[in-house]
Amino acid sequence: MKIRIGIAGYGNLGRGVENALCTSSDMELVAVFTRRDPAGVKTRTGVPVYPMAEAPAMKDQIDVMILCGGSANDLPEQTPALAQYFNVIDSFDTHAKIPEHFQAVDAACRKSGKLGIISVGWDPGMFSLNRAYGQAVLPNGSDYTFWGKGVSQGHSDAIRRIPGVLDARQYTIPVEEALNRVRSGENPELSTREKHTRECFVVAAEGADKKQIEQAIVTMPNYFADYDTTVHFISQEELDRDHKGIPHGGMVFRCGATGANGENRHVIEYKLTLDSNPEFTSSVLTAYARAAYRLHLQGVSGCKTVLDIAPALLHPESAEELRRKLL
């Protein structure tokens, strides 16, 4: 029998999970739930769409609910609410609020006997794993995380809020020289400005003061002021043609020393190069849904994160097959 999956929220992430399930022969998509009018939502694979409010009634038909809403407004409410009825997986990524979200989901899961895995994706997610493994293996060392080259939705939105801006796309780009210094094992101290640059493609309204828009961008506190930022003004047509993708990626490094006097240096690098940020996140969510199902079968309940999940639980093959093929 296949693992029966529900999707809550049918945006980029939800569609990505639907696609990921097509390459997972041990799982099947049973239903999509939406807060919109279901009549207006058509799934690519024809799976039925229900109002979010009807989810609890389907608790016996779904093994794991994958939440595909946003971290700002949807998940803080939805994940604990759905954990009353389902094993749940989400990609909650507001780093500072993870402990609080964990508590809420854990309380709901302990009451219902269900299992939740939160903050699944690549950062938090695969990057967090690599920080944990790196620190554990090389305790005498330093961490480095670089993001990009990729589109930052939050920074693009911030530019769009500037008067006179019609549309914008922002790329975060790691600085090659900083990467080379980290890879060499020298364990440099790097400022914010030394690690990343920001490149902005902006569509200005006719007659808008471009100099003023550029100033507003490069001096914007938190978002741009601490970075070397380049601004390009382009047409809406060019933006739609050349910048419609949502690539992303980045690197987690652990650089450490071993030996009686720390004389041997080691560099661990984990690097992601992603054509589609949401589709990769969806793929990670789908793999962890398998783990949630298996752990729940074993009688485990409560809230977990990727740090608590053994890698073999994510993989469709048996432990015996994995030992034979992957070790």
* CB 227 to a copy of itself: min, Å: 24
Q: Site mask, a copy of itself, residues 168-207, x = CB under 8 A?
A: ---------------x-x----------------------
Q: Which helix (H) or strand (E) holds 135?
A: helix 126-137
Q: Assess 310 for contact with a copy of itself (CB under 8 A).
A: yes
The least distance separating a copy of itself from the CB of residue 246, rounded to whole angstroms, comes to 9
Residue 238 and residue 227: Cα distance in Å, rounded? Answer: 25
Closer CB to a copy of itself, 87 or 229, in the complex: 87
The contact pattern for a copy of itself, residues 257-286, with x = CB under 8 A and - = no contact, is: -xxx--xxxxxxxxxxxxxx--xx-xxx--
Could you tell me the two tokens for 151? 């589109």
Q: Is 306 in the site for a copy of itself (CB under 8 A)?
A: yes
Contacting residue, 99, 207, 221, 299, with a copy of itself by CB under 8 A? 99
CB of 166 to a copy of itself, least distance (A): 27
Q: Find the shortest distance in angstroms from Cβ 121 to a copy of itself.
A: 10
Q: What are phi and psi of 87, to 5 degrees?
A: -70, 135
- Of 295, 276, 300, which Cα lies nearest the Cα of 121? 276
Structure token pair of residue 221:
């506190």
Would you give the distance in Å from CA 226 to the centre of its chain? 24
Name the one range near a copy of itself by CB under 8 A: 57-65, 164-172, 231-239, 305-313: 305-313
Q: Which is nearer to a copy of itself, 221 or 259 (CB)?
A: 259
Q: Is 316 in the site for a copy of itself (CB under 8 A)?
A: yes
CA-angle at 305, arms to 77 and 301, nearest 5°: 80
Measured between alpha carbons, how far is residue 33 from residues 36, 43, 52, 68, 78 in Å?
A: 9, 11, 5, 10, 12
User: Is-contact 268 134, C-beta < 8 A?
Assistant: yes
- How far is the C-alpha of 170 from the C-alpha of 156, rounded, in Å? 5
- Using CB under 8 A, which of 42, 95, 232, 241 touches a copy of itself? 95
Residues 6 or more apart in contact with residue 29 via CB below 8 angstroms: 5, 6, 7, 17, 18, 21, 45, 47
50 is a contact residue toward a copy of itself (CB under 8 A)? no
Q: Which residues bind a copy of itself (CB under 8 A)?
A: 16, 19-20, 23-24, 44, 95, 98-99, 102, 119, 124, 126, 128-129, 131-133, 135-140, 183, 185, 256, 258-260, 263-276, 279-280, 282-284, 287, 290, 305-312, 314-316, 319-320, 322-324, 326-327
